[in-house]
Chain A
Amino acid sequence: MHEFRVIIGPASFRLLSRWAKPLDQMRALYAGYPQADIADFTVRLEEVSLLRRFIRPSAAINGDYMLPDAAPLPVSQGLLGLEMGMNLQMALGWRRQLILHASAAARGGKSLIMTGESGSGKSTLSAMLGFKHDDTKPQDSWRFLGDEFALIDPESGESVGYPRLISLKNQAIAAMQAAAPDGKFGPLMPGTPKGDIRHLVPPVEAVSAMEKRARPALILFPRFGHERAIRDMPPSEVFIRLTQASTNYVALGEAGFQALSHLVETVPARAIDYRSGEEAMEMVEQLWTELR
């Protein structure tokens, strides 16, 4: 097995693969990250069966935590398979922080958390905020914390960064190529189960400062494709939505309940509808100034 170990935020992974190429791609994209010694989780990319090693090879995504009916991927999409495997380990196995299926970014020690259905644009928005970084005005710049999982520490209530590779789908690929022309992109993988996928390495400062925590200051529920609107959301609804967006709320027991209650009681939340990236960014800036 080929092997690569990497640390992303508080978590570390041992990635194993029967094929060298997906790991070479991972190594190149995660070049700026620290390497793990003893890993929290193992993810394995391996052949489905001996026969399939030779005929139409496809890669099964296995590891410490597995889904019994997870469909294998073509080996050419192995990079995506490894990323999916890492997400699965976090979703099912992580206990050190409350995990929200959400994106997050920080500014001035405070964090913005964005959650919503797939296609809401939360992931692209966090990437756009992160890549708008202006070295001359660091106090007005956002630090990208993560596009998939927002981690909340149950003891301190703080946001913990998890800046894995940004996973761009379909139209978001072109949007981010425009927003981050100097960005480091992975290979384009057309025709995956989720459409076209291309990974983007997070901004340098997102990785170098990934251990720096931030205090949650605003929760947004973005929705793409609707006329500009901002709606209040009562804490009860925010709470229910976030329990549904959490992968380990139940498994954390009382600590999960305390962390989520505290978050909802202390941080303002709004639902926002928008039609374009620029519009959303403007709304984020406006709400950040008003509410934080």
Chain B
Amino acid sequence: MTAAYNNAQILIDVLRDPESVSSIDGGGLDAGGWTALITIARAEQLLGTLAARVKGQQLPDAVSAILDDAEKNAGYQRKTALWEADRAKAALADYDRPIALMKGTAYHAANLLAAQGRHVGDLDIMVAEDDLPQVEKALMAAGWEWVKEDEYDDAYYRDYMHELPPLIHQERDRMIDVHHTILPKTAKPSPDPAAMLARAERLDSGLYVFEPADRIIHSAAHLFADGDLAGGLRNLWDLFCLLKELDDSKAAQASAVLSSRAEEYGLGAAVQRAIRLSQYCYGNRNVSLSFADRLYIRRLLARNGYGQQTRKLTRLAFYIRSHWLRMPPLMLARHLWTKWRKGH
């Protein structure tokens, strides 16, 4: 019964080995297993990915119907994400320096493995920091407007963050995050956004995506050096796919370039962790995990077959850590104080 599914193990097992859902020897999944798997995948925003992974197998009718919907929905997500990128490009027609797509939209635009069935929320782009005023102005002229009217939040973004306060389009109701680097200014690692933009690959649309090693560095920085790991299983799946493509490309020195660049940016540990954890969850499980790695796994799998988040203390610890990474302690205290006073 579903009560036995007290963590998200079943989801990583099926993404790693999709044929396990119907294998006769392994017993395959029963109704309780399917219900838990679908619920967890949906909550982790991996249902479209799951649909793409198990496609072509003999599945129960009820499962096929749900996964067909997820596949259709993923197609719609892709179309919407690419359209949003197209609209941003049109709004910035007069801007002649590289605009790099990031995260989900980039994976779709470059037709990467990670894009298969992937959900896309906001549009994330990166431009040179000096050009932010020009880019912001052009986007606002094309119908984007501020989401947060609050002066404190606005100043906070501008002074300390790696992106402008989020903008939302008046008519299409879609958000855009305009980045000038990949981590908050207050975080310790020091990536080189100018070099990342200079190396970025140009697509037919005239938009850019980071080159392979930089994609991995950005995704790993986002997962392990920034947020609180909420939705981390999907980010880790992205990383698994990006790493696999880097490996499959057989590009000379690809992994050496990745390691040395990550070291240089202060993100060596994040990238190494990405390699270990993604291999452990989705790939060849033959990796040795540190004690800290096991804590990360514990956090990543904190979701049960009912779709509930579990392991409250672990989650809280990672939440506090995410703020710690972004801000020195005194600044954190000031920030939380201001937020509490406003009743957040």
What B residues does A42 contact at CB under 8 A? 35, 39, 306-307
Cβ-based interface call for A63 (8 A)? yes
Complex interface bits, A1-39 against B, C-beta within 8 A gives 1, otherwise 0: 101000000001010100000000000000000001111
Residues of chain B with a CB closer than 8 A to A62's CB:
307-308
Number of interface residues of A (CB under 8 A): 21
CA distance A253 to B77 in the complex (A): 10
A4 to B39, CA, bound (A): 15
- Whether the Cβ atoms of A14 and B308 lie closer than 8 Å is no
Contact with B along A195-224 (1 / 0, CB 8 A): 000000000000000000000000000000
Using C-beta atoms within 8 Å of the partner chain, give the interface range for chain B: 20 to 34
Main secondary structure of the interface of B (DSSP, over half): helix
Stretch among B65-73, B91-99, B182-190 lining the A interface: B65-73
Q: Does A110 contact B (CB under 8 A)?
A: no
- By the criterion CB–CB under 8 Å, are B43 and A95 in contact? no
* Inter-subunit contact A95/B62 (CB<8 Å): no
Q: Which residues of A contact B79 (CB under 8 A)?
A: 253
A44 within 8 A of B: yes
| From B2, B3, B38, B69, contact of A95 by CB (8 A) | B69
Contact A44 B73 (CB under 8 A): no
How many Å lie between the Cα of A164 and that of B261 in the bound state?
A: 58
Tell me if B60 is interfacial: C-beta within 8 Å of chain A: yes
- Flag whether A292 is at the interface (Cβ < 8 A): no
Q: Which label, helix, strand, loop or mixed, suits the secondary structure of the A interface? A: loop
What mask results when residues 65 to 107 of chain B are scored 1 for a CB within 8 Å of chain A, else 0?
1100100110010010000000000000000000000000000
Cα–Cα distance between A64 and B307 once the two chains are bound (Å): 7
B-chain residues with CB within 8 Å of residue A38 when the two chains form the complex:
31, 34-35, 38, 60, 62-63, 66
Indicate the member of B34, B43, B60, B62 with the most A CB atoms within 10 Å. Answer: B62
* B273 in the interface (beta carbon within 8 A): no
18 contacting pairs across A/B (C-beta < 8 A) = A14-B35, A37-B60, A38-B38, A38-B66, A39-B35, A39-B62, A42-B35, A42-B307, A44-B306, A44-B308, A64-B42, A64-B43, A64-B307, A95-B69, A251-B73, A251-B76, A253-B76, A253-B79
Further pairs besides A40-B65, A42-B35: 15, Cβ < 8 Å: A1-B3, A1-B306, A16-B306, A38-B62, A44-B306, A44-B307, A44-B308, A46-B308, A62-B307, A62-B308, A64-B39, A64-B42, A95-B69, A96-B69, A252-B76
